[in-house]
Structure 1
Amino acid sequence: MAVPTLAHQVVDSLEQYDDVVSWINDTIPTGDSDDDTPPTDLTELDHQITQLLTTLDIASEDTSAELERIIDDVSRGIPRLAYDLHFMKDGASTLQNALVGVLQRSRDAVPKETSEALDNLHQLDTIKERMTAAREVLREAESWSTLEQEVTSLIAERSYAKAAERLSEANKSMVVFQNTTEYDPRRTLMVNLQNQLEAALSTALLSAINSQDSAACKDYFSIFSTIQRESEFRNYYYASRRSALVSLWQDTAILDCDPSTKLAGTTNAQTLADFLPRFFASFIALLNTERTSISSVFPDPSTTLSQFISSTMTSLQPTVPQRLTSYASYHGEAALVHLISALRATEEFAVAIEKIMEKVKYSSSPNILSPRQTSSAAEDPKLHRRRSSRLSISLRPNQNRSSSSTQSVSRAVANAAESMEWDQELFQPFIDFQTDYGSLERQYLEHSLLEVVSNDTRDRVQALDKPRLFRERAVDIFGIAENSMARCKSFTYGYGVVGLVHAVDGFLQSFIEMWTADIRADTGYSSRPTQVSVSDSELSDMDYSAEDWSGIQLSLHFLSSARTVYDRMNVFEAKLRAYISQVATHFRLSSNDPSNFSIAATKGESLLLEQSTLNSAELHTLLTTVENESNPPPFSASLRHQPVTMPAAEVLLVNARKALSAFAQTCQKSTTKTILSPLRNHLAGYASSPAWISTADPSTSISSSELRVPTFSLSHSETMQRIAEGLLNLPRLFEVYADDDALSFSLETLPFVQSEMLQSLSEQTTHDMSGQQTHRRRASVYVKPSKIDPEVVSSAWLISLGHTFLEHLTVDILPAIPSLTNAGAAQLASDLEYLSNIVRALNVEHSALEKWKTYISMDATEGLKALAETNVDGIDQVLEHVAKLRGWR
């Protein structure tokens, strides 16, 4: 019984484990897991396991029934098998006796004289065959004895075709001497005679090639093929025809590939961008000329033209990879755009070659190779991959090969494969740069960033103009980033999208971090008088200077600019996601129908990209993920009773978003520092107040008659009163800026504010406004609304400010108090009690403040008891500080 499709994943995962416990632990993650693995749907998992168990039970029952049936059949067949074997044995014995009788009767039927005559005839036939073989050997020996003289004479008479035929006939007889002592001397003689014939033909051959005498070249090709030197003929032909093109490549000085030519003051120096079109135009002109010549000389014009292109590209000195490497090194970080230009020129050249190749195929009829040509081609498997342009005589051994039909088919397949190699030779030099596209793109983006920054006059811009400059530069930066998608398409045809995402992500991260560092480096603000958005009477009682107001406004303007950059980042990421989705769709169409949907300019370039490291598992994971997000699966009626959860789109610009959050957090910290600066100033001398070492009894007063008179509780100090007034003025400050959207940006990065707290504030505000909670959100994830209620924004900022201030008080100020008398402790307890009531009005609850208030209010007995309890449960730092101040230790 087939396993249902929905349970395939469960079955595959079970097969990877040896025990069920490990599978359960890995499949059902614990609640404290730190990874982002979504929780497993236990209901769905239980349903699939139940279905698998049912399937297993049914399969077990079917297997058991089938096994019982087989056992019954075997049990019934075993007795019959013994009878059949006995019957077969008897039949074989009977047949053997019958054959012996027939043989004996046939011998008896032939007379003795006839049998002796037949034996004599058989012996005579054997002798004849052996004598014939000996005669052939003697003829070959006689032929080899005169071979050198005959061939030398024919060469002297310029009867090259007859000399080739004579060598071909002698070559066929080489097999007679194989595995004998005569083989090596005859092989050496054969090679020497072939070399003599080749040397005699070389001058005339070069003359015929240079004069484009197609008829003579065809005759010479036939001769070279006869003596199994077809590859040498091709080397002669290719080297002669490409000499002018190779000289053009070698003699032209390229400024951005060979810097020494620029220093030498070469007059004909050019840039590679100018030289490549000229070189390729000359190459196309040569190919158009050779298209006719090659068709009339060679029996396989398409393959020959492909080999001619490949051999020409590999014979260039300096090589194409060397010049491209120098080219990229010369242009440095901006090398990518120049490499794209060179690749585009090469692709245009390749498209023009494809048209020529198509004309060659249409103009030439199918050619059938002769046995000699097939044997020659099969002799050297690397015949058409030889890259040597050296016009020398080879000394390779000569071997006979059979010209079977199988070799003809193999040769045809080899020709078809080699006809595609020319474009791989063209694009092979680019593949290393294409696989390194991510680094090249990042370097170019960083180079563009430096160009933008070099035109930036941030140091001469007034402080309040910097947020505007940040927004303007963001427009330039995102424009540069958007162009990277076109570069990725032009240079890698989408194979480099993984590197593109990493490069753009790092580029935006660098830009934002640069501004973050700039904000952190600014210790002060412009002294230029600024227009404050609030009136003097509104907040005149607050202890802020004009510089403080400028600092607050500057931070808010930066936050507003950060919101603008965040919106632009969302738009850019949507464009990036759409581009990746297009790449995924194009790849899928090309995989399904490669003939109509090609990826690169030519098949060879597509094959190189497909075989490169760019075609990685990470690429296909990214393409699949983005394509699935863009095209969610249709709703299935069979799952209508099951909960359907649509996963959120995967964030592509992870580091850029983190950098923007860090930028917002830096602005928020700067704003917090400025807002709390008056309160921090009030606390400057709080730790050194003389009230902490006062010896007066805080609970009684002593009269002259030694009568102790009870007193009322102490009032808070003047410093704490001023701090409380400052804290109570904070809501008024946020009422003034309530309509500023900058405060609502990135609330989750505020110090001491968590997403759950924001959700709780949002739900509480909704409940207060409507009188009842109309919508209950899940508490697992905080979702940022498009428009946050101003009360939620104010509450979040007040909570953050309150916690930040109390953290400064409890960590930096209170532990700095040198000591406390009973009167000082009473005064401090009164101050902390008053402060605790004030911050509660701001919806702030600080555990450290509550501990300080509680421990300071204890007497010695209670304090020692608390110390004894903490020694058992663990160390309480606040209690340790208080015990030190109160002298309990």
Structure 2
Amino acid sequence: MTMAGATSISTAKLTETLEQYDDITSWINDALNANETIDDLSTPSNADLTKLDQYITQLLTTLDIACEDTSAQLERIIDDVSRGIPRLAYDLHFMKDGALSLQSSLVEVLKKSKDAVPAETSAALDNLHHLDTVKGRMEAARDVLQEAESWSTLEMEVTSLIGERNYIKAAERLSEASKSMVVFQNTPEYDPRRALMVNLQNQLEAALSSALVAAINSQDVAACKDYFSIFSTIQRESEFRNYYNAARRTSVVTMWQSANFSDCDTRDGESSGPRQSFADFLPKFYATFLALLNAERGPISSIFPDPPATVSRFISSTMATLQPTFSQRLSSYANHYGESCLSHLVTVQRSTEEFATGVWKMMEKLQDSEPSRPKPVTPSERPSGHRRRSSRMSISWRPGQPKPTSLLLGGVQGLDNLEWDQELFQPFLDLQVDYSSLERRFLDQALLDIITNDPRDNVSDLDRARLFRERAVDIVGIAEGSMVRCKAFTHGYGSVGLIQALDGFFASFVDSWTAELASQPSSSQSYSFSTSELELADLDYSAKDWSEIQLMLHMLGSARGVSERITTFETKLRSYLSQTAAHFRLAQMDPLNITTAATKGQTQLLEQSSLNSADLFSLLSSVEEIQSQNTPLTALHSATFRQTQQVQQAAPESILVQTRQSLSGFAQGCQVSMQKTILSPLRNHLSSYASASIWSSREDPQSALAADLHIPTFSLSPSETVQRVAEGLLNLPRLFDIYADDDALGFSLQTLPHVDPEMLKPSEQHLDVSSQGVGGHHRRASVVFKPAPVDPELVSSAWLLSLGHTLLSYLTTNVLPSISTLTSVGAAQLTSDLEYLSNIVRALNVENETLEQWRGAVASDDEELKKEAQQSSADSIVLRMAKIRGLY
């Protein structure tokens, strides 16, 4: 029907079509599909939408008219009912009176009929009924006795018929005798007669076996059909199937047993032919098997009453007969390739799935060719794991609503209960369950192959950082293949194992570089100063120190690049998981037409395995939830949405947790090493600070004379060591001004030692959401999280804060506790030093509580210090200071 022809639809006809549907969405889809033509499919999309809009407008008008007509009819019906209700009570009362009158009349008629029949006639009729019952029972007893009497001549008759090769009559005679076995049930005669029956059936089967095998080998369909009828008559149908299957599978079994493999069990002395790999042999084997099945399709349809079930048993029995078994060869094949066996197993399974697909198509042809089996009302695709093709203008139905009738009419439900495909895929199940281990072994082997010839020992410091980035490119490339292998080998059921393998793989790679960073010192190569670094020539840094700082900066920059590359990969990984979750959801909503694996049997095996766990459900649900939250579907039809948008939104939690921890550990190692180099001149100044003589010096005579003459005194100046340390601290901002534009310093600020996380607010993420449309159809929105640029001032402040706390931690933990004796003169000098140093670090926004505790303890007088020491714990600073000053 064209768009113009749609105007001829009457209101009554439209209403009738609407009454045929239980689901309004299905009615709309069918109404739209009914008005599509082949010509419409070739028109541009805008024209389709215009025609669709016109038809929907007309459809709405027609529905409005139908609603008005229905409303008018409903009003008339209500009026009729309203007028008829008052008379309804009278009618019911009248009917009740009529029923009571009829009942009394029937009682009278029955009484009169009994009185009309004389007593003699009634007795005669009862006697006739009794005689008829006796006759029927006597005839039944006669038949049973005749059947029992026939057993005396059964053996002679059947033997004679077998000798005359009158197999059909012999089978019929045995069938008749078998039916009479129930007569001897629970009697001593049952077991001997049962044994005789089995003996005669064995004789008939033995007499037929050679002829049957000959007929099967010669493909005499008519003879095989007659023999099947005979075997069915004597209840030996399963034996006939065994004969048939054993004879027809010979070529396939022989091909399997005679194969000579280079990467599998060769069975020396039994195999022949050229050596070949198992992966190369399997497609040839399956092609031969499928050709045999196609050749048997016609004979099986003519001989057996259930061709699909017969083919299923034929495949299962053939696979079970193979020696060595498929599982044994598959296990040997996997052991041969060791750590990298997963990619080879994927190839073998893909060949098996292609064979299963070919068998399924053949099964559909076999079922469609059966005249007694009705064809589906609506065509549908077989459940091959792909989404059923939907109409171009269909409207999706929501989960929770009743399924459209059209979804339940299609499909080949009779083929779903066959288990031939489970026999094919059962050998793969244990390997699929162990997918996580196989994937991790494959990734580790690939990483080992990459780093085997890695020239780490012969490269410069800067080349080492570059090598880290290059190797990250290699491992991410390897990891991208994991999603393909997971989909091909487990059809998404191994997603949890995929995450575990990838997370461990990336973490292992980063940890290896972290260990190398901690164990391998920087090279002693010559270092050329840059122009900006020459401005800091007054600092106490050697060429080696500058080289170490540069190396750590480059390593941090490489770590930042690796982190961004892994973030991009994680986005792809989330997309893969989202697609897997969507496919699983579609298969759950429409199990008749959509499967998660290649066939129904393979899907059932995976669903019943440990791969289909609560962890998998939780993972896919979380990914789908994040995807739905971060994809603004309401804006898909907005013209402005087609341009790239920046939406401030928090990034989702990483699914590669261990990898992120390893990257943080690597970054922290670089930061600690860089801080150690930056603070090395200051720590060198403090190396002899604890052993200075000033701490044990006594008060000199000039100080006593000044006290007697009341000469005014001034506060002590800080010691030269503290002045040099303070000068070094004040020069640190100049050092960071050189690298202000280097993004490496801003990477992983949260791992800097002694930095409060509250100071570093989580960097807001820019969410790039883009949608491109072609011909009015939008693609699925892509979600990519990118870190926002970090404020250089925040970076410098965080580093200066961390450096200040690190130096003060060294001072309060290693230097000050090493002072063994402290006189009053030494205490005065130490008080001056600590006060001066406290003021300096405050300029760097460093507030150190431990330093203030030391300063307070040093500045306390003896009495106050002694009193506080008595109330302090054993490891307190006050008690330690009292011991140094000889007060405790």
TM-score by length of 1: 0.75
Residue in 1 that maps onto 2:322:
316
Matches within 5 A, 1:65-104: none
Matches within 5 A, 1:489-888: 489-522=487-520, 524-534=521-531, 537-594=534-591, 597-632=594-629, 648-696=651-699, 701-703=703-705, 711-759=713-761, 786-868=788-870, 870-871=871-872, 877-888=876-887
Contact preservation (8 Å) 2:178, 2:197: yes
What is the match of residue 146 of structure 2? 139
Contact 1:474/1:565 (<8 A) preserved: yes
Over 3 Å counting, the alpha-carbon distance change for 1:418 and 1:526 in structure 2 is closer
Give the superposition deviation at 1:598. Answer: 4.2
Worse-matched range after superposition: 592-601 or 483-492: 592-601
Query: 1: distance between equivalents of 2:271 and 2:144?
Result: 72
> What secondary structure sits across from 1:701 in the alignment?
helix
Say whether 1:293 aligns with 2:296. no
Match of 2:479 in 1: 481
Listed one character per residue, the Cα deviations across residues 706-741 of structure 1 (whole Å, up to 9, x for unaligned) are 878664332222221221222122111111222222
Q: Greater CA deviation, 676-685 or 163-172?
A: 676-685
Aligned to 2:381: none
Report the residue type matching 1:255 in the other structure.
S
User: Measured at CA, do residues 244 and 761 of structure 1 come closer, stay the same or move farther in structure 2, by a change above 3 Å?
Assistant: closer
- Contact map agreement 1:692 1:824 (CA 8 A) in 2: yes
1:472 counterpart (470, 473, 490) = 470
CA deviation after TM superposition for structure 1 residue 562, in Å = 0.9
Question: C-alpha displacement at 1:209, in angstroms?
Answer: 1.1
Partner Cα separation in structure 1 for residue 707 and residue 141 of structure 2: 156
Letter of the structure 1 residue corresponding to residue 817 of structure 2: P
C-alpha deviation, 1:253, in angstroms: 2.8
Distance in 2 (CA, whole Å) between partners of 1:573 and 1:239 is: 53
Larger mean Cα displacement after TM superposition, 158-167 or 878-887: 878-887
CA, structure 1 residues 186+416, in 2 after alignment: closer, same or farther (shift >3 Å)? farther
Shift of 1:616: 2.7
Helix, strand or coil at the partner of 2:564:
helix
Selected match of 1:337 from 332, 339, 343: 343
Aligned positions of 1:37-116 closer than 5 A:
none
Deviation at residue 212 of structure 1 after TM alignment = 1.4
CA distance in structure 2 between the aligned counterparts of 1:492 and 1:541, rounded to whole angstroms: 64
Q: Which amino acid aligns with 2:311?
A: L
Letter in 1 for 2:436: G
CA distance in 1, matches of 2:515, 2:452: 17
* Whole-Å separation in 2 of the counterparts to 1:414 and 1:544: 80
Give yes or no for contact 2:698–2:825 (8 Å, CA) kept in 1: yes
**Cα distance in 2, alignment partners of residues 817 and 620 from structure 1:** 62
- Cα distance in 2 for residues equivalent to 1:415 and 1:591: 16
Residues 107/584 of structure 1: CA separation in 2 closer, same or farther (3 Å cut): closer
Shift of 1:267: 5.9
Q: By how many angstroms is 1:110 displaced?
A: 6.7
> For structure 1, which segment, 799-808 or 359-368, has the greater mean C-alpha deviation from structure 2 after superposition?
359-368
Decide whether aligned partners of structure 1 residues 152 and 787 sit closer, same or farther in structure 2, where only a CA change above 3 A counts.
same
Q: Counterpart of 2:861 in structure 1: which amino acid?
A: D
CA distance 1:151–1:356, change in 2 (3 Å): same
Sequence identity (%): 60
Residues 217-228 of structure 1 aligned to structure 2 (within 5 Å): 217-228=224-235
- The answer as to 2:264 corresponding to 1:257 is yes
Deviations 1:153-196 (A, max 9, x none): 11111111111000001111112222222222222221111111
Per the TM alignment, residue 607 of structure 1 is displaced from its structure 2 partner at its CA by 3.2
Aligned letter for 1:811? T
Asked if structure 2 preserves the Cα contact closer than 8 Å seen for 1:701 and 1:709, the reply is no
* Structure 2 CA distance for partners of 1:854 and 1:539, relative to 1, 3 Å: same
Structure 1, unpaired ranges of 5+: 1-90, 369-412, 637-643, 763-782
Structure 2 length-normalised TM: 0.75
- 2:666 and 2:707 map into 1 onto residues whose CA distance is 68
- SS of residue paired to 1:751: coil
Q: CA 1:533 to 1:595, structure 2 compared with 1: closer, same or farther past 3 Å?
A: farther
Q: Go from structure 1 to structure 2 and tell me whether the alpha carbon gap of 1:352 and 1:843 turns closer, same or farther (over 3 Å shift).
A: same
Deviation at 1:863, TM superposition (A): 0.8
The total of aligned residue pairs comes to 718
1:755 shift after superposition: 2.9
Pair 1:419–1:594, CA change in 2 (3 A): closer
CA distance in 2, matches of 1:798, 1:704: 43
Q: Report the Cα offset of residue 611 of structure 1.
A: 3.3
Choose from 358, 362, 365 the match for 1:356: 362
Q: Which whole-Å CA distance do the structure 2 matches of 1:826 and 1:704 have between them?
A: 16
CA distance in 2, matches of 1:519, 1:150: 96
Contact persistence 1:334–1:447 (CA under 8 A): yes
Deviation at 1:488, TM superposition (A): 1.6
Task: Give the conservation status (yes or no) of the 8 Å contact 1:493–1:599.
Answer: yes
2:513 & 2:272 partners in 1: Cα distance? 46
Contact 1:209/1:237, CA 8 A, preserved across alignment = yes
User: In 2, are the aligned partners of 1:581 and 1:630 still within 8 Å (CA)?
Assistant: yes
Unaligned runs of 5+ in 2: 1-99, 375-410, 635-646, 765-784
Q: 2-side partners of 1:259 and 1:796: how far apart?
A: 66
CA-CA distance at 1:497 after TM superposition:
2.0
- Residue of structure 2 in register with 1:463 after alignment: 461
The aligned residue for residue 275 of structure 1 is: 281
Retained in 1: the 8 A contact 2:763–2:790? no
1:691 to partner: Cα distance: 1.7
The answer to whether the 8 Å contact 1:333/1:440 transfers is yes
Matched position secondary structure for 1:585 = helix
- C-alpha distance 867-493 of structure 1, shift in aligned 2 (>3 A): same
Deviation at 1:424, TM superposition (A): 2.1
Q: Is the 8 A contact 2:260 2:271 kept in 1?
A: no
Q: Aligned equivalents of 1:428 and 1:420: distance in 2?
A: 14
Structure 1 residues 618 and 419 mapped into 2: Cα distance closer, same or farther (>3 Å)?
Answer: closer
Q: Distance in 2 between matches of 1:645 and 1:573?
A: 20
User: For 2:703, what is the secondary structure of its paired residue?
Assistant: strand
SS at match of 2:587: helix
> Displacement of 1:269 after TM fit?
2.7
Distance of 2:786 and 2:295 partners within structure 1: 69
Question: Does structure 2 retain, via aligned residues, the 8 Å contact 1:306–1:419?
Answer: no
Q: Measure how far apart 1:276 and its partner are.
A: 0.3
Tell me how far 1:261 sits from its aligned partner: 5.0
Paired residues of 2:706 and 2:712 also in contact (CA < 8 A): no
Deviations 1:249-308 (A, max 9, x none): 12213232227759x997633211111011112112211221222122222222212221
1:12-47 Cα distance to aligned partner (Å, 9 max, x none)? xxxxxxxxxxxxxxxxxxxxxxxxxxxxxxxxxxxx
Task: Work out whether residues 259 and 272 of structure 2, in 8 Å CA contact, stay in contact via their aligned partners in 1.
Answer: no
Find the aligned partners of 2:706 and 2:518 in 1 and give their Cα distance.
Answer: 62
